[in-house]
Amino acid sequence: MPAAGHRVAGGADASVDRRTLTRPGQELLAFGRELEAAGAAQVGSSFSGDPSADLVLAQPNAFLIGVLFTQGIPAERAWRGPWELRHRLGTLDLDYIAEHPDEVLEAVQRPPMLHRFKNMLPRWIVSAARRLSEEYGGDASNIWPAGAHVGDVIDRLTEFDGIGRKKAVMAAEILVRHFGVALQGRECGQIAYDVQVRRVFMRAGLVAEDNREAMEAAAASICPESPGIVDLPAWIVGRQWCRPTEPDCEQCRLGSVCPRLIHLKVEGVGARPRGAR
């Protein structure tokens, strides 16, 4: 198949009534609206499961550092990262971080290590501190001021080392849903091309190809005015019920409406459109 994507083997074929495939989308949308009304964080009602660590994330600079952590480790551990880093460094002051890269490296690598990317993450954190100071007046909230367009916020976030489109679209949704930032252009928001989201979209028959373009088109079809609203519900469904092995379809939020194409598997990081980060 072309580089743009690959056909999902055994996907939403003729054996599945196409009229039923909108029902999982409708249920995801209902779930997403419930989560948004509740101001849900990334892991349901919390980020890290620790109120003290979650409180730190209310600081814009700490939240941006948290976004850097959200790769390659469990979500709760990632969002706890800024709190742990502050504890080890004694501060999250941007000038200190920018001027003390060796101390940041040591803080991340000190057992138990804060992240598996023990060399890359410290570089990302130092780079972010310098960019925030030089371009945003030392305040990450200037990346996402009230009234800014979602697309512009995503573009600004992806200029930071360690933040690609996947992290950026996730962060933009969290800013609106949990922190109440009044961003414009939510019709331009999107789901993150994440392993959990991909698995749910495939098994629910919402896509026939595992690539970012297909996933985003499906999300836009489900909720044209705010495609990103189905990101967190799909992620929660994938993590909690639609697991890679032994999915719990009977307890799943989509269980009564899903075609249950559980033989489908997510392969690697998925296909990426040409030019994608």
pLDDT digits (tens, 9 = 90+) for 239-252: 999 999 999 999 99
Adjacent-strand bridge partners of 184: 149
- Residues 6 or more apart whose CB falls under 8 angstroms from that of 166 comprise 192, 193, 194
**DSSP structural state of residue 114:** S
Does residue 11 register a pLDDT over 50?
Answer: no
Given a cut of 70, is residue 4 above it in pLDDT? no
Kindly tell me if the per-residue pLDDT of 272 is higher than 70.
Answer: no
Question: Per the structure block, which two tokens stand in for 56?
Answer: 């730190």
Rounded Cα distance between 142 and 230, Å, is 26
Residues 6 or more apart whose Cβ sits within 8 Å of residue 21 = 12, 204, 205, 206, 259
H helices of the chain, in order, are 22-37, 51-56, 60-69, 75-89, 94-99, 101-109, 120-135, 150-157, 165-177, 195-203, 212-222, 231-240
- Distance CA(216)–CA(273), nearest Å, equals 12
With tokens 């609206």, the residue in question is: 33
Return the biggest CA–CA distance within the chain: 61
Confidence of residue 269 (pLDDT cuts 50, 70, 90): low
Q: Cite the residue boundaries of each domain of the chain with CATH code 1.10.1670.10.
A: 1-39+188-268
pLDDT above 70 covers a percentage of the chain that reads: 88
Nearest partner of 62 among 92, 34, 84, judged by Cα:
92
Convert the pLDDT of each residue in 164-215 to its tens digit.
Answer: 999 999 999 999 999 999 999 999 999 999 999 999 999 999 999 999 999 9
**Top CATH class, 1-39+188-268:** mainly alpha
Residue with the two structure tokens 């469904």: 237
**Please, what is the average pLDDT of the chain?**
90
Map residue 51 onto helix, strand or coil. Answer: helix
User: What are the start and end residues of each CATH 1.10.340.30 domain in the chain?
Assistant: 51-187
Q: Which fold has domain 51-187?
A: Endonuclease III; domain 1 (1.10.340)
Q: For the chain, what is the total number of helices (H) and then of strands (E)?
A: 12, 0
pTM equals: 0.87
